[in-house]
Amino acid sequence: MIKKNFLFKTINSLHISEKSNQCQEKNNVIVLKVNKNSTKKEIKIAVFKMFNLLVKKVNLVNIKGKSKKKGKNITKKKTIKKAYIFLKKNQNLDFLKL
């Protein structure tokens, strides 16, 4: 039995950008920000449990945080992990139903 904490710890949020919108329209792909330590299998299970979607495959991308200089101070953005989730045919994530 999978705990709900597991589901909410693996998926952080949806990644919203022009590229992610184009991927969703053309290739039926969802882009999510996920936990750094999560694996492809964990993400696949979490998407199936949370959204009731059948997943064909999952691709992961690590994005290194950039450092910015503001005056004397140097700050660094967080390193994130994105998951490109390819859905099977006739599967669609409808935000109005959530």
Per-domain residue ranges for the chain? 4-87
- The model's pLDDT over 64-77, given as tens digits with 9 standing for 90+, comes to 999 999 899 999 99
Burial track 24-38 (b if 16+ CB lie within 10 A, e otherwise) = eeeebbbbbebbeeb
pLDDT value, residue 22: 86
DSSP 8-state class, residue 98: -
Domain 4-87 has CATH 3.40.30.10: no
Instruction: Profile the chain (98 residues) by mean pLDDT over runs of 10 residues.
Output: 71 88 87 93 91 93 93 92 92 63
Neighbours of 54 (CB within 10 A): 12
pTM (2 decimals)?
0.83
Residue 1 CB: number of other CB atoms within 10 A?
Answer: 2
Question: What percent of the chain lies above the pLDDT cut of 70?
Answer: 91
- Look at residue 20 in the predicted model and tell me its pLDDT: 86
